[in-house]
A and B are shown apart, each in its own frame.
Chain A
């Protein structure tokens, strides 16, 4: 493949092996420094409260912080809430965005270009800017402090639609046309041709959506009130207020929340990295 080939050669233009090694060393040092704070968090999870600020390895390792998080606080409930909300948003978003992306790329219907532009323009609107009116809309719909309020507004996001439309623009038409000739309906085409065809990109997007919602804070903070609806991020911030000084518990809870995201990343890093790399332009 010419792409792999060219990548292998490129960075070396005019660089001698010795300086290449120096750069590698520098890169490794920087990368380790970058992840050091994360490693510190995991180590500190097993330190006693008195040891949180000690340099280096802990005097003795303890599981008491983790035990505390899972027994003294309803952390499982918060993890459950987060899991339900993130999964629901991801599944609904994948279905709706692939339908919309397919229609916008392939089906001709009146107003298609305008609808696409209108959807695209919401790309530039970030949550902090519309949080006040969005809160009022959700309140009017009676969705405050409910799973619906956590899930529904988080589904609609132009990024996924845009990426999928780009993908479907590049899919060859022949398959669909044969199906149309055979008298297949569009729902059938979507279900049996388009969805299977887009499995790779859909799984990448699903991971990104899940991670984004697992890590979301501002919207859950705003829309929920009852403790029974808290997601983990909101719970951690409230611990921080409640146990100020007892950093060991807050750090342990942070580690618990972070482990699933890092595992997902390590398992699917190829998909994640590729889909972000290609999202840049085009």
Chain B
């Protein structure tokens, strides 16, 4: 776009030269199209097509054996009366409400804690980020053993503190909190790095000027760091909301640790959809529920845009 290959930079613009430029242009177009083609086709088939299919198949009854039957809105009507689906939406909402602020605060706090360029900060970054490197299956296994009732390490340690007989994964009132805690443990290092990237883009001069004016550390945080971090904050809220509603991390944890239980307390919508589709062969119903989930996700995203005025765009 910024390049001015045709004419202006050419010294002699005679007829032969012009032909060369046009054929050059043509070659560029062909090369560009061919270079993009494999990825474009792949994304179309393995991302775009499934997105569209989810909507279309939501109007069909699809069994696991290749039978498709148009059923209109039946899947959607069924959802309204499916207590487990409605429950899974409530669980998802609670998970979002608990997880998103926790990730925001922990990521931001850790970034402030490790932002100095020192050997210790470098080490702390590494340690805080380490859980990210571990597969969620392993994360789930580690925590499942640590949280075993009575004899698990966490129960024993909390018994030392005078808290007895809490069944973190067995009590419907506690299980989702345990899943949120483990999700934060796993994800916070990632958000720490994102915030760290944002902090590094704030010019140091602002802090120097504030200090010369006698501003406290708290005032610097409140009036320099937070306003200038708006783009980063927006990104973090957006990404963590998407992760909370539809992220693979929650699925893996729940599949391994709780299977949605106890008493469906941890049955997130993505888990319930998977169960319906792959355990009960309800592929059409699964697609319809996934479509509803995407609509909810889009609504949440729009809300986020509205509340933050797009975060970053406000300043531009």
Contact = CB atoms under 8 A, between A and B. Distances in A.
A131 interface: yes
Contacts, number: 315
A136 to B, nearest CB: 7
Contacts of A158: 43, 47
Nearest to B130: A35
| Residue of A31, A35, A127, A276 ringed by the most chain B CB atoms within 10 A | A31
A130 B29 contact: no
Nearest to A11: B116
Nearest to B218: A14
B76 to A, nearest CB: 16
B274 A131 contact: yes
Contacts of B185: 34, 37
Contact of B42 (A112, A156, A173, A236): A156
Given A28-B120, A281-B198, A217 B40 contact: no
Interface stretch (A57-65, A68-76, A92-100, A196-204): A92-100
Contacts of B153: 40, 53, 55
Given A10-B199, A109-B28, A273 B125 contact: yes
A102 B36 CA distance: 9
A129 B130 CA distance: 27
A178 B21 CA distance: 15
Given A28-B124, A129-B294, A38 B134 contact: yes
Contact of A133 (B35, B50, B202, B208): B50
Given A38-B142, A276-B190, A222 B39 contact: no
A261 B32 contact: no
Interface string B208-230: 10110001110010000000000
A62 B287 CA distance: 49
Interface of A: 2-15, 23-24, 26-28, 30-32, 34-35, 37-38, 40-41, 44, 52-53, 55, 96-97, 99-100, 102-104, 107-110, 112, 115, 118-119, 122, 124-138, 152-153, 155-156, 158, 161, 173, 180, 185-187, 190, 211, 214-218, 221-222, 233, 236-237, 240, 247, 250-251, 254, 257-258, 261-262, 264-266, 269, 273, 276-281
